[in-house]
């Protein structure tokens, strides 16, 4: 599993996904991703490959950001300025508190 440095959640609940990570998964502006909570982590999967994933759908903006829904942040206890680490497992991204 490849790890990337931590990113900070901004005041609007957005989190930037690393460029290298987006490239590995073939993600670009306007693409949709599914977010699913399992224990205290978020599993993120490219929507075109996740028809049966049944997660919360988010869209990647022009800066490579996704906006984490309030419900998910509250469930995990994540808030503005928290550090989040991303890990690549091949076709999934795992987001964890840093």
What's the CATH number where 61 sits?
3.40.1550.20
Q: Residue 2: which of 88, 90, 95 has the closest Cα?
A: 88
Domains: count for the chain: 1
Which pLDDT band, with edges at 50, 70 and 90, does 9 fall under?
A: very high
How does the average pLDDT of the chain come out, rounded? Answer: 85
Write out the residue range of the structural domain in which residue 28 sits: 2-97
Q: Which residue has the tokens 């959640």?
A: 9
The pLDDT score that the predictor gives to residue 25 is 82
């Amino acid at each position: 599993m490849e790890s990337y440095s931590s990113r900070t959640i901004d005041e609007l609940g957005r989190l930037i996904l690393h460029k290298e990570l987006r490239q590995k998964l073939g993600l670009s502006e306007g693409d949709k991703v599914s977010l699913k909570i399992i224990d205290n982590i978020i599993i993120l999967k490219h929507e075109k490959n996740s028809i049966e994933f049944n997660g919360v759908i988010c869209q990647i903006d022009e800066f490579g950001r996704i906006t984490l829904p309030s419900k998910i942040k509250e469930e995990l206890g994540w808030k503005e300025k928290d550090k989040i680490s991303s890990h690549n497992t091949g076709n999934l991204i795992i987001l964890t508190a840093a």
